[in-house]
């Protein structure tokens, strides 16, 4: 049997800066495809948000990540030339550049091969709420 492909897109409404777990959305979509073995690619279609795989058991991990990034990349307009969209815009681009906008995850037995404590997150880097889009592509058999 040859390779097959499936494509889709999910929308995620954020409440502002922070991590939004999208694992169940991704698992649900993969489960509705007819592909049981392959490679899943997720791609965040924005320059001020990103994707990450992180622990989903202890919420302190998310809080610590958010605190670390706020210390690492300051929201101080005097530090940047690009300030037309607000004090959080250039820091959001930098945070996105330091993380991932695409993820590749093996799919085995019809499920993404995530570890026991791993979850998939959209990392919103802007202060105000946004509607974010993540493209999904699955190739396999």
pLDDT of residue 2: 84
**What band does 4 get if pLDDT is binned at 50, 70 and 90?**
very high
Tell me which H or E stretch contains 2. Answer: none
CA distances 92 to 64, 71, 105, 108, 112, Å, are 17, 13, 25, 34, 28
Mean pLDDT of the chain: 97
> Looking at the domain 4-140, which fold is it?
Jelly Rolls (2.60.120)
Residues in the chain: 141
pLDDT of residue 12: 98
For 18: left if phi > 0, alpha if psi spans -120 to 50, otherwise beta; the answer is left
- Residue 74 tokens, joined: 């300051």
pLDDT of residue 76: 94
Q: Tell me the mean pLDDT in the region 100-116.
A: 97
Provide the residue ranges of all domains of the chain, joining segments of one domain with +: 4-140
Backbone CA torsion sign across 65, 67, 73, 76: positive
Q: Give the residue among 119, 132, 139 at the shortest CA–CA distance from 11.
A: 132
Backbone CA torsion sign across 129, 65, 31, 2: positive
Q: Tell me the mean pLDDT in the region 5-10.
A: 98
Q: Tell me the mean pLDDT in the region 62-87.
A: 95
Q: Does residue 110 surpass a pLDDT of 80?
A: yes
């Amino acid at each position: 049997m040859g390779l097959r492909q499936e494509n889709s897109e999910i929308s995620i409404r954020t409440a502002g800066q922070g991590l939004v777990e999208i694992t169940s959305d991704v698992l649900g979509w993969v489960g509705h495809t007819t592909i049981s073995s392959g490679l899943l690619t997720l791609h965040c279609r924005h320059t001020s948000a990103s994707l990450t795989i992180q622990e989903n058991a202890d919420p302190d991990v998310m809080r610590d990540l958010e605190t670390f990034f706020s210390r690492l990349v300051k929201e101080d307009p005097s530090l940047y030339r690009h300030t037309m969209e607000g004090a959080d815009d250039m820091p959001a681009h930098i945070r996105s550049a330091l993380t991932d906008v695409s993820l590749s995850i093996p799919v085995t037995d019809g499920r993404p091969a995530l570890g026991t404590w791993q979850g998939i997150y959209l990392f919103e880097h802007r202060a105000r709420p946004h509607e974010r889009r993540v493209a999904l592509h699955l190739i396999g058999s």
